[in-house]
Protein backbone atom coordinates (compact mmCIF):
# COMPACT_ATOMS: atom_id res chain seq x y z
CA UNK A 1 0.00 0.00 0.00
CA UNK A 2 1.40 3.38 -0.98
CA UNK A 3 2.24 6.01 1.62
CA UNK A 4 -0.25 8.82 1.51
CA UNK A 5 -0.37 12.32 2.93
CA UNK A 6 -2.94 12.83 5.65
CA UNK A 7 -4.89 16.02 6.01
CA UNK A 8 -6.81 17.15 9.10
CA UNK A 9 -9.83 19.42 9.03
CA UNK A 10 -9.28 22.34 11.35
CA UNK A 11 -11.91 24.87 12.19
CA UNK A 12 -10.67 28.10 13.77
CA UNK A 13 -13.20 29.38 16.22
CA UNK A 14 -13.42 32.41 18.43
CA UNK A 15 -13.44 33.42 22.01
CA UNK A 16 -16.29 35.48 23.37
CA UNK A 17 -16.72 36.99 26.79
CA UNK A 18 -17.68 34.99 29.86
CA UNK A 19 -20.93 36.94 29.78
CA UNK A 20 -21.90 35.12 26.61
CA UNK A 21 -22.98 32.39 29.01
CA UNK A 22 -26.08 34.54 29.47
CA UNK A 23 -27.18 33.20 26.07
CA UNK A 24 -27.50 29.89 27.91
CA UNK A 25 -25.68 27.98 25.20
CA UNK A 26 -28.41 28.52 22.61
CA UNK A 27 -27.34 26.46 19.62
CA UNK A 28 -24.67 24.83 21.79
CA UNK A 29 -22.49 27.94 22.15
CA UNK A 30 -21.08 28.21 25.65
CA UNK A 31 -18.19 29.90 27.41
CA UNK A 32 -16.19 27.77 29.81
CA UNK A 33 -14.95 28.99 33.22
CA UNK A 34 -11.73 30.20 31.61
CA UNK A 35 -13.68 32.46 29.27
CA UNK A 36 -13.07 30.35 26.16
CA UNK A 37 -15.83 29.85 23.62
CA UNK A 38 -16.57 26.28 22.66
CA UNK A 39 -19.41 24.02 21.60
CA UNK A 40 -21.40 21.80 23.97
CA UNK A 41 -23.69 19.40 22.12
CA UNK A 42 -25.84 18.77 25.19
CA UNK A 43 -26.49 22.50 25.50
CA UNK A 44 -27.39 22.62 21.83
CA UNK A 45 -30.00 19.91 22.22
CA UNK A 46 -31.42 21.57 25.31
CA UNK A 47 -31.70 24.91 23.50
CA UNK A 48 -33.56 23.32 20.60
CA UNK A 49 -36.04 21.64 22.93
CA UNK A 50 -36.49 24.89 24.84
CA UNK A 51 -37.07 26.85 21.64
CA UNK A 52 -39.75 24.45 20.44
CA UNK A 53 -41.39 24.34 23.86
CA UNK A 54 -41.94 28.03 24.61
CA UNK A 55 -45.26 28.22 22.77
CA UNK A 56 -48.17 27.56 25.12
CA UNK A 57 -51.07 28.42 22.81
CA UNK A 58 -52.18 31.10 25.27
CA UNK A 59 -49.90 33.90 24.16
CA UNK A 60 -51.24 37.12 22.66
CA UNK A 61 -51.13 36.91 18.86
CA UNK A 62 -48.29 38.95 17.39
CA UNK A 63 -49.14 42.26 15.77
CA UNK A 64 -49.03 42.76 12.02
CA UNK A 65 -47.39 46.08 12.76
CA UNK A 66 -45.99 47.53 15.95
CA UNK A 67 -44.88 51.14 15.93
CA UNK A 68 -42.17 52.24 18.35
CA UNK A 69 -41.37 55.92 18.81
CA UNK A 70 -37.66 56.56 19.35
CA UNK A 71 -38.52 59.81 21.13
CA UNK A 72 -40.82 57.90 23.43
CA UNK A 73 -38.24 55.16 23.94
CA UNK A 74 -35.63 57.75 24.85
CA UNK A 75 -38.08 59.43 27.23
CA UNK A 76 -38.78 56.20 29.12
CA UNK A 77 -35.10 55.29 29.24
CA UNK A 78 -34.17 58.69 30.62
CA UNK A 79 -37.05 58.54 33.11
CA UNK A 80 -35.81 55.24 34.54
CA UNK A 81 -32.20 56.43 34.70
CA UNK A 82 -33.11 59.68 36.45
CA UNK A 83 -35.12 57.80 39.07
CA UNK A 84 -32.39 55.24 39.55
CA UNK A 85 -34.86 52.51 38.59
CA UNK A 86 -34.10 49.39 36.62
CA UNK A 87 -34.77 49.91 32.93
CA UNK A 88 -38.22 48.40 32.18
CA UNK A 89 -38.29 45.22 30.12
CA UNK A 90 -40.41 46.82 27.39
CA UNK A 91 -37.71 49.47 27.00
CA UNK A 92 -34.90 46.91 26.99
CA UNK A 93 -36.81 44.84 24.42
CA UNK A 94 -37.79 47.85 22.24
CA UNK A 95 -41.48 47.13 22.93
CA UNK A 96 -41.17 43.55 21.73
CA UNK A 97 -40.19 44.26 18.12
CA UNK A 98 -38.74 41.18 16.45
CA UNK A 99 -38.16 42.78 13.04
CA UNK A 100 -37.67 46.20 11.47
CA UNK A 101 -39.81 46.36 8.33
CA UNK A 102 -40.35 50.13 8.01
CA UNK A 103 -38.82 53.35 9.28
CA UNK A 104 -41.06 56.42 9.46
CA UNK A 105 -39.96 60.02 9.85
CA UNK A 106 -42.47 62.43 11.43
CA UNK A 107 -41.61 65.98 10.25
CA UNK A 108 -43.89 67.72 12.78
CA UNK A 109 -42.07 66.28 15.80
CA UNK A 110 -38.80 65.10 14.21
CA UNK A 111 -39.58 61.70 15.66
CA UNK A 112 -38.38 58.44 14.12
CA UNK A 113 -40.68 55.43 14.33
CA UNK A 114 -39.57 51.83 13.93
CA UNK A 115 -42.31 49.62 12.50
CA UNK A 116 -42.20 45.85 12.47
CA UNK A 117 -43.58 42.65 13.91
CA UNK A 118 -44.22 42.75 17.63
CA UNK A 119 -44.82 39.92 20.09
CA UNK A 120 -45.25 39.11 23.75
CA UNK A 121 -41.89 38.35 25.36
CA UNK A 122 -40.53 34.95 26.29
CA UNK A 123 -37.03 33.74 27.04
CA UNK A 124 -34.84 31.07 25.47
CA UNK A 125 -31.26 30.57 26.55
CA UNK A 126 -31.11 34.00 28.15
CA UNK A 127 -32.51 35.71 25.06
CA UNK A 128 -35.73 37.72 24.97
CA UNK A 129 -37.76 36.15 22.15
CA UNK A 130 -41.26 36.38 20.77
CA UNK A 131 -43.55 33.81 22.38
CA UNK A 132 -45.18 32.92 19.07
CA UNK A 133 -42.24 32.68 16.69
CA UNK A 134 -39.28 32.32 19.04
CA UNK A 135 -37.49 35.05 17.08
CA UNK A 136 -35.17 37.27 19.17
CA UNK A 137 -36.46 40.71 20.07
CA UNK A 138 -34.57 43.86 19.24
CA UNK A 139 -32.55 45.08 22.20
CA UNK A 140 -32.09 48.65 23.40
CA UNK A 141 -28.35 48.21 23.91
CA UNK A 142 -27.91 47.02 20.30
CA UNK A 143 -29.96 49.94 18.95
CA UNK A 144 -27.87 52.36 20.99
CA UNK A 145 -24.61 50.76 19.83
CA UNK A 146 -25.73 51.02 16.19
CA UNK A 147 -26.82 54.66 16.49
CA UNK A 148 -23.58 55.69 18.18
CA UNK A 149 -21.45 53.78 15.68
CA UNK A 150 -23.06 55.41 12.65
CA UNK A 151 -23.93 58.89 13.95
CA UNK A 152 -21.01 59.50 16.32
CA UNK A 153 -18.49 56.78 15.54
CA UNK A 154 -16.55 54.97 12.82
CA UNK A 155 -19.68 54.19 10.80
CA UNK A 156 -19.14 50.47 10.32
CA UNK A 157 -18.70 47.29 12.35
CA UNK A 158 -16.71 44.11 11.91
CA UNK A 159 -15.36 41.07 13.63
CA UNK A 160 -12.59 38.74 12.53
CA UNK A 161 -11.12 35.45 13.63
CA UNK A 162 -7.55 34.90 12.47
CA UNK A 163 -5.13 32.02 13.03
CA UNK A 164 -1.65 33.02 14.17
CA UNK A 165 1.04 32.69 11.52
CA UNK A 166 3.19 30.46 13.73
CA UNK A 167 0.16 28.33 14.54
CA UNK A 168 -0.66 27.88 10.86
CA UNK A 169 2.86 26.71 10.08
CA UNK A 170 2.94 24.33 13.04
CA UNK A 171 -0.49 22.92 12.21
CA UNK A 172 0.51 22.26 8.61
CA UNK A 173 3.61 20.41 9.74
CA UNK A 174 1.68 18.41 12.32
CA UNK A 175 -0.89 17.34 9.75
CA UNK A 176 1.62 16.12 7.18
CA UNK A 177 1.97 12.60 8.52
CA UNK A 178 2.85 9.51 6.52
CA UNK A 179 0.64 7.06 8.36
CA UNK A 180 -3.10 7.24 7.83
CA UNK A 181 -5.10 6.78 11.07
CA UNK A 182 -6.46 3.24 11.19
CA UNK A 183 -9.22 3.78 13.72
CA UNK A 184 -11.18 6.45 15.60
CA UNK A 185 -8.65 6.59 18.45
CA UNK A 186 -5.82 7.41 16.06
CA UNK A 187 -8.03 10.00 14.38
CA UNK A 188 -8.65 11.68 17.74
CA UNK A 189 -4.92 11.62 18.50
CA UNK A 190 -4.14 13.30 15.18
CA UNK A 191 -6.83 15.90 15.74
CA UNK A 192 -5.44 16.71 19.18
CA UNK A 193 -1.90 16.97 17.80
CA UNK A 194 -2.98 19.43 15.12
CA UNK A 195 -5.12 21.37 17.59
CA UNK A 196 -2.20 21.75 20.00
CA UNK A 197 0.04 22.92 17.17
CA UNK A 198 -2.49 25.43 15.90
CA UNK A 199 -2.94 27.07 19.29
CA UNK A 200 -5.25 29.91 20.19
CA UNK A 201 -6.83 32.11 17.53
CA UNK A 202 -6.99 35.89 17.58
CA UNK A 203 -10.40 37.55 17.64
CA UNK A 204 -11.10 41.22 17.03
CA UNK A 205 -14.28 43.30 16.95
CA UNK A 206 -14.50 46.91 15.82
CA UNK A 207 -17.04 49.71 15.55
CA UNK A 208 -18.89 48.91 18.77
CA UNK A 209 -17.58 48.62 22.34
CA UNK A 210 -15.61 45.47 23.12
CA UNK A 211 -17.71 43.23 25.31
CA UNK A 212 -20.99 44.78 24.20
CA UNK A 213 -23.85 42.47 23.30
CA UNK A 214 -23.50 43.68 19.70
CA UNK A 215 -19.86 42.57 19.57
CA UNK A 216 -20.56 39.22 21.20
CA UNK A 217 -23.47 38.48 18.87
CA UNK A 218 -21.24 38.96 15.84
CA UNK A 219 -18.79 36.45 17.28
CA UNK A 220 -21.51 33.96 18.15
CA UNK A 221 -23.04 34.02 14.66
CA UNK A 222 -19.62 33.66 13.07
CA UNK A 223 -18.82 30.71 15.33
CA UNK A 224 -21.99 28.84 14.37
CA UNK A 225 -21.47 29.54 10.68
CA UNK A 226 -18.00 28.03 10.80
CA UNK A 227 -19.30 24.92 12.55
CA UNK A 228 -21.66 24.48 9.61
CA UNK A 229 -18.85 25.13 7.14
CA UNK A 230 -16.87 22.28 8.65
CA UNK A 231 -19.86 19.95 8.77
CA UNK A 232 -19.87 19.79 12.58
CA UNK A 233 -23.36 21.29 12.65
CA UNK A 234 -25.22 19.54 9.87
CA UNK A 235 -28.16 21.25 8.17
CA UNK A 236 -30.00 19.55 5.34
CA UNK A 237 -29.51 21.45 2.10
CA UNK A 238 -26.21 23.07 3.11
CA UNK A 239 -23.09 21.77 1.38
CA UNK A 240 -20.28 21.90 3.92
CA UNK A 241 -16.74 22.96 3.07
CA UNK A 242 -15.59 19.49 4.06
CA UNK A 243 -17.97 18.00 1.47
CA UNK A 244 -16.42 20.21 -1.20
CA UNK A 245 -12.89 19.24 -0.19
CA UNK A 246 -13.78 15.57 -0.39
CA UNK A 247 -15.02 16.02 -3.96
CA UNK A 248 -12.02 18.09 -5.05
CA UNK A 249 -9.53 15.72 -3.46
CA UNK A 250 -11.05 12.75 -5.25
CA UNK A 251 -10.90 14.65 -8.56
CA UNK A 252 -7.28 15.66 -7.96
CA UNK A 253 -8.18 19.36 -8.12
CA UNK A 254 -7.41 20.42 -4.55
CA UNK A 255 -4.92 23.33 -4.53
CA UNK A 256 -5.72 24.94 -1.19
CA UNK A 257 -7.97 24.04 1.71
CA UNK A 258 -7.88 27.43 3.42
CA UNK A 259 -11.02 29.52 3.03
CA UNK A 260 -12.28 32.82 4.36
CA UNK A 261 -16.00 33.50 4.78
CA UNK A 262 -17.67 36.63 6.08
CA UNK A 263 -21.17 38.01 6.60
CA UNK A 264 -22.01 41.15 4.64
CA UNK A 265 -25.21 43.18 3.96
CA UNK A 266 -27.65 42.10 1.25
CA UNK A 267 -30.47 44.63 0.79
CA UNK A 268 -32.57 45.28 -2.28
CA UNK A 269 -33.77 48.79 -3.25
CA UNK A 270 -36.05 50.11 -0.53
CA UNK A 271 -39.62 51.21 -1.23
CA UNK A 272 -40.85 54.57 0.04
CA UNK A 273 -43.86 56.86 -0.17
CA UNK A 274 -43.75 59.98 -2.32
CA UNK A 275 -42.99 62.26 0.64
CA UNK A 276 -40.00 60.13 1.60
CA UNK A 277 -41.29 59.87 5.17
CA UNK A 278 -42.00 56.13 5.09
CA UNK A 279 -39.34 53.65 3.99
CA UNK A 280 -39.75 49.90 3.66
CA UNK A 281 -36.77 47.57 3.99
CA UNK A 282 -36.40 45.00 1.23
CA UNK A 283 -34.09 42.05 0.73
CA UNK A 284 -32.73 39.23 2.87
CA UNK A 285 -30.53 41.60 4.89
CA UNK A 286 -27.36 39.53 4.95
CA UNK A 287 -25.43 37.00 2.95
CA UNK A 288 -22.18 35.06 3.09
CA UNK A 289 -19.21 35.80 0.84
CA UNK A 290 -16.00 33.80 0.42
CA UNK A 291 -12.41 34.05 -0.69
CA UNK A 292 -9.89 31.31 -1.43
CA UNK A 293 -6.70 31.77 0.59
CA UNK A 294 -3.20 30.41 0.00
CA UNK A 295 -0.81 29.66 2.87
CA UNK A 296 2.92 28.85 2.66
CA UNK A 297 5.07 26.60 4.83
CA UNK A 298 5.88 29.51 7.16
CA UNK A 299 2.20 30.11 7.86
CA UNK A 300 1.91 33.29 5.79
CA UNK A 301 -1.56 33.51 4.29
CA UNK A 302 -2.45 35.39 1.13
CA UNK A 303 -5.97 36.15 0.00
CA UNK A 304 -6.54 35.57 -3.68
CA UNK A 305 -9.02 38.45 -3.85
CA UNK A 306 -11.38 36.19 -5.73
CA UNK A 307 -14.35 34.14 -4.70
CA UNK A 308 -13.79 30.47 -5.36
CA UNK A 309 -16.48 28.75 -7.39
CA UNK A 310 -15.89 25.65 -5.28
CA UNK A 311 -16.03 27.54 -1.99
CA UNK A 312 -19.24 29.13 -3.27
CA UNK A 313 -20.97 25.80 -2.83
CA UNK A 314 -21.00 26.37 0.92
CA UNK A 315 -21.53 30.15 0.97
CA UNK A 316 -24.38 30.05 -1.55
CA UNK A 317 -26.17 27.11 0.05
CA UNK A 318 -25.77 28.78 3.45
CA UNK A 319 -27.14 32.10 2.17
CA UNK A 320 -30.12 30.36 0.54
CA UNK A 321 -30.86 28.61 3.83
CA UNK A 322 -30.71 31.77 5.98
CA UNK A 323 -34.49 32.22 6.38
CA UNK A 324 -34.69 28.70 7.78
CA UNK A 325 -31.51 29.13 9.83
CA UNK A 326 -32.89 32.32 11.41
CA UNK A 327 -35.97 30.39 12.50
CA UNK A 328 -33.87 27.68 14.13
CA UNK A 329 -30.71 29.43 15.36
CA UNK A 330 -31.33 32.68 17.27
CA UNK A 331 -27.76 33.83 16.60
CA UNK A 332 -28.49 34.36 12.90
CA UNK A 333 -31.80 36.15 13.54
CA UNK A 334 -29.97 38.39 16.02
CA UNK A 335 -27.28 39.17 13.44
CA UNK A 336 -30.00 40.08 10.92
CA UNK A 337 -31.51 42.44 13.52
CA UNK A 338 -28.10 44.03 14.09
CA UNK A 339 -27.71 44.68 10.37
CA UNK A 340 -31.20 46.21 10.23
CA UNK A 341 -30.40 48.51 13.16
CA UNK A 342 -27.25 49.69 11.40
CA UNK A 343 -29.37 50.46 8.34
CA UNK A 344 -31.84 52.38 10.52
CA UNK A 345 -28.96 54.50 11.81
CA UNK A 346 -27.61 55.09 8.30
CA UNK A 347 -31.08 56.07 7.08
CA UNK A 348 -31.42 58.57 9.94
CA UNK A 349 -28.03 60.00 9.02
CA UNK A 350 -28.97 60.35 5.35
CA UNK A 351 -32.56 61.57 5.37
CA UNK A 352 -33.64 62.12 8.95
CA UNK A 353 -34.07 65.45 10.73
CA UNK A 354 -33.41 64.42 14.31
CA UNK A 355 -31.32 67.06 16.07
CA UNK A 356 -32.89 65.95 19.36
CA UNK A 357 -30.82 62.77 19.24
CA UNK A 358 -27.66 64.72 20.08
CA UNK A 359 -28.89 65.35 23.61
CA UNK A 360 -30.65 62.04 24.03
CA UNK A 361 -29.92 59.08 26.26
CA UNK A 362 -29.80 57.01 23.08
CA UNK A 363 -26.75 58.89 21.81
CA UNK A 364 -25.06 60.38 24.88
CA UNK A 365 -22.83 57.85 26.71
CA UNK A 366 -22.72 60.09 29.77
CA UNK A 367 -26.45 59.44 30.22
CA UNK A 368 -26.66 55.78 29.22
CA UNK A 369 -23.66 53.47 28.92
CA UNK A 370 -23.88 50.39 26.72
CA UNK A 371 -23.50 47.37 29.03
CA UNK A 372 -20.16 45.65 28.60
CA UNK A 373 -18.44 42.51 29.75
CA UNK A 374 -14.79 41.54 29.56
CA UNK A 375 -14.00 40.29 26.07
CA UNK A 376 -11.20 37.73 25.65
CA UNK A 377 -9.07 38.19 22.59
CA UNK A 378 -8.33 34.56 21.74
CA UNK A 379 -10.19 31.44 20.69
CA UNK A 380 -9.76 27.75 21.29
CA UNK A 381 -9.31 25.82 18.02
CA UNK A 382 -11.66 23.01 17.09
CA UNK A 383 -10.27 20.22 14.93
CA UNK A 384 -12.41 17.81 12.93
CA UNK A 385 -11.19 14.83 10.93
CA UNK A 386 -12.92 12.98 8.13
CA UNK A 387 -12.02 9.75 6.42
CA UNK A 388 -13.06 9.24 2.82
CA UNK A 389 -12.69 6.15 0.65
CA UNK A 390 -12.30 6.51 -3.10
CA UNK A 391 -14.58 4.64 -5.42
CA UNK A 392 -11.99 1.89 -5.92
CA UNK A 393 -12.22 1.22 -2.20
CA UNK A 394 -8.52 1.79 -1.54
CA UNK A 395 -7.43 5.39 -1.11
CA UNK A 396 -8.47 7.20 2.03
CA UNK A 397 -8.18 10.92 2.64
CA UNK A 398 -8.19 13.21 5.67
CA UNK A 399 -8.61 16.86 4.87
CA UNK A 400 -6.66 19.85 6.34
CA UNK A 401 -8.44 23.20 6.16
CA UNK A 402 -8.67 26.29 8.29
CA UNK A 403 -11.82 28.39 8.12
CA UNK A 404 -11.60 32.02 9.12
CA UNK A 405 -13.31 35.31 8.39
CA UNK A 406 -15.96 37.19 10.32
CA UNK A 407 -18.51 39.96 9.85
CA UNK A 408 -18.24 43.16 7.81
CA UNK A 409 -21.05 45.72 7.82
CA UNK A 410 -20.71 49.14 6.19
CA UNK A 411 -24.27 50.54 6.31
CA UNK A 412 -23.52 53.69 4.32
CA UNK A 413 -22.31 51.64 1.37
CA UNK A 414 -25.28 49.30 1.66
CA UNK A 415 -27.68 52.25 1.86
CA UNK A 416 -26.20 53.87 -1.24
CA UNK A 417 -27.40 50.87 -3.23
CA UNK A 418 -30.66 50.33 -1.36
CA UNK A 419 -31.77 53.98 -1.12
CA UNK A 420 -30.83 55.92 -4.29
CA UNK A 421 -31.23 59.66 -4.56
CA UNK A 422 -34.84 60.78 -5.26
CA UNK A 423 -34.09 61.68 -8.86
CA UNK A 424 -33.29 58.08 -9.69
CA UNK A 425 -35.60 56.38 -7.22
CA UNK A 426 -37.83 53.84 -8.98
CA UNK A 427 -41.30 55.34 -8.76
CA UNK A 428 -43.36 57.55 -6.47
CA UNK A 429 -46.07 55.07 -5.51
CA UNK A 430 -46.75 54.35 -1.87
CA UNK A 431 -44.57 51.42 -0.81
CA UNK A 432 -45.50 49.61 -3.98
CA UNK A 433 -44.03 46.18 -3.34
CA UNK A 434 -45.07 45.82 0.29
CA UNK A 435 -47.62 43.31 1.46
CA UNK A 436 -50.96 45.03 0.79
CA UNK A 437 -52.33 44.88 4.32
CA UNK A 438 -49.07 45.97 5.90
CA UNK A 439 -48.61 48.75 3.36
CA UNK A 440 -52.08 50.18 4.03
CA UNK A 441 -51.45 50.17 7.75
CA UNK A 442 -48.00 51.71 7.52
CA UNK A 443 -49.10 54.33 5.02
CA UNK A 444 -51.94 55.41 7.25
CA UNK A 445 -49.51 56.38 9.98
CA UNK A 446 -48.50 59.53 8.18
CA UNK A 447 -51.54 61.75 8.08
CA UNK A 448 -54.86 59.94 7.72
CA UNK A 449 -56.40 60.84 11.05
CA UNK A 450 -59.81 59.47 10.05
CA UNK A 451 -58.54 55.89 9.63
CA UNK A 452 -58.77 53.11 12.25
CA UNK A 453 -55.07 53.69 12.89
CA UNK A 454 -55.45 57.22 14.16
CA UNK A 455 -54.94 56.07 17.75
CA UNK A 456 -51.56 54.72 16.73
CA UNK A 457 -50.40 57.98 15.18
CA UNK A 458 -46.71 58.33 16.18
CA UNK A 459 -47.20 62.04 16.78
CA UNK A 460 -49.41 61.00 19.68
CA UNK A 461 -47.32 58.03 20.81
CA UNK A 462 -44.20 60.11 21.43
CA UNK A 463 -45.95 62.89 23.34
CA UNK A 464 -48.12 60.83 25.65
CA UNK A 465 -47.61 61.39 29.37
CA UNK A 466 -47.72 57.74 30.37
CA UNK A 467 -45.22 55.00 29.59
CA UNK A 468 -46.87 53.98 26.31
CA UNK A 469 -44.26 54.75 23.67
CA UNK A 470 -45.54 52.14 21.23
CA UNK A 471 -48.80 51.03 19.65
CA UNK A 472 -50.14 48.13 17.61
CA UNK A 473 -52.06 48.13 14.38
CA UNK A 474 -55.42 46.31 14.69
CA UNK A 475 -54.68 44.33 11.54
CA UNK A 476 -54.36 40.58 12.15
CA UNK A 477 -51.04 38.99 11.35
CA UNK A 478 -51.18 37.04 8.11
CA UNK A 479 -50.56 33.37 8.73
CA UNK A 480 -46.96 32.43 8.10
CA UNK A 481 -46.33 28.86 6.93
CA UNK A 482 -43.91 26.91 9.12
CA UNK A 483 -40.33 27.07 7.94
CA UNK A 484 -38.96 23.89 6.40
CA UNK A 485 -35.34 22.99 5.72
CA UNK A 486 -34.20 23.92 2.22
CA UNK A 487 -34.31 21.18 -0.36
CA UNK A 488 -31.15 19.21 -0.88
Q: How many angstroms separate the most distant Cα atoms in the chain?
A: 85
Report the chain's terminal Cα–Cα distance, integer Å. Answer: 37
Dist. CA 15–CA 31, nearest whole Å: 8
What digits encode the pLDDT tens for the residues 122-166? 888 788 999 888 899 999 999 999 999 999 999 999 998 778 888
Indicate left, alpha or beta for 93 from its phi (over 0: left) and psi (-120 to 50: alpha): alpha
Q: What is the pLDDT of residue 308?
A: 64
Q: What is the pLDDT of residue 203?
A: 81
Q: What is the pLDDT of residue 321?
A: 96
Indicate if the pLDDT at residue 214 is higher than 90: yes
Q: Looking at beta carbons, which pairs linking 150-155 to residues 24 or more positions away fall under 8 Å? A: 150/342, 150/345, 150/346, 150/348, 150/349, 150/411, 150/412, 151/345, 151/348, 151/349, 151/357, 151/363, 152/363, 153/207, 154/206, 154/207, 155/207, 155/410, 155/411, 155/412
Q: Which of 119, 141, 140 is nearest to 131 (CA)?
A: 119
Q: What is the pLDDT of residue 292?
A: 64
Q: What global pTM score does this model have? A: 0.83
Q: What is the CA radius of gyration of the chain?
A: 24
Indicate if the pLDDT at residue 210 is higher than 70: yes
Q: Which of 289, 293, 290 is nearest to 304 (CA)?
A: 293
Q: What is the pLDDT of residue 93?
A: 97
Greater model confidence, 52 or 208: 208
Q: Are 244 and 394 in contact (CB under 8 A)?
A: no
Greater model confidence, 238 or 307: 238
The ranges assigned to domains in the chain are 9-54+63-471
Confidence of residue 402 (pLDDT cuts 50, 70, 90): low
Confidence of residue 398 (pLDDT cuts 50, 70, 90): low
What digits encode the pLDDT tens for the residues 236-287? 899 988 788 777 777 766 655 667 889 999 999 999 888 888 999 999 999 9
Q: Are 311 and 301 in contact (CB under 8 A)?
A: no
Q: Which of 64, 70, 67 is nearest to 347 (CA)?
A: 70
Over residues 331-346, mean pLDDT: 97
Q: What are phi and psi for residue 41, nearest 5 degrees?
A: -65, -30
What digits encode the pLDDT tens for the residues 21-35? 444 455 676 666 677
Q: Are 130 and 119 in contact (CB under 8 A)?
A: yes
Looking from the CA of 462 toward its CB, the CA atoms found within 13 Å total 19
Q: Could you tell me the sign of the dihedral formed by the alpha carbons of 153, 156, 162, 164, in that order? A: negative
Amino acid sequence: MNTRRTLAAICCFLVATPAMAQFGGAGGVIVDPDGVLRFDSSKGRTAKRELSGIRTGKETPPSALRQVSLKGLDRELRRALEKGDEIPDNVKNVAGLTTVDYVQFVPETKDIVLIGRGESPGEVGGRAVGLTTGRPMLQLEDLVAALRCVLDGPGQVSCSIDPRRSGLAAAQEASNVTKIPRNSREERDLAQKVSDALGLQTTVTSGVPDGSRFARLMLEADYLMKRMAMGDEKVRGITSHLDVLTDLNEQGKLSTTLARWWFTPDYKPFDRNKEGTLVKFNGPGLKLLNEAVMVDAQGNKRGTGKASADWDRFSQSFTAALPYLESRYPAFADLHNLFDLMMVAALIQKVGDADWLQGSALLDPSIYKVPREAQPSHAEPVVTTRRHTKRDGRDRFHMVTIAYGGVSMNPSAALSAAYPEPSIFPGDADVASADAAVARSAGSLISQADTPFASADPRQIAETNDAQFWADSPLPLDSIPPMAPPEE
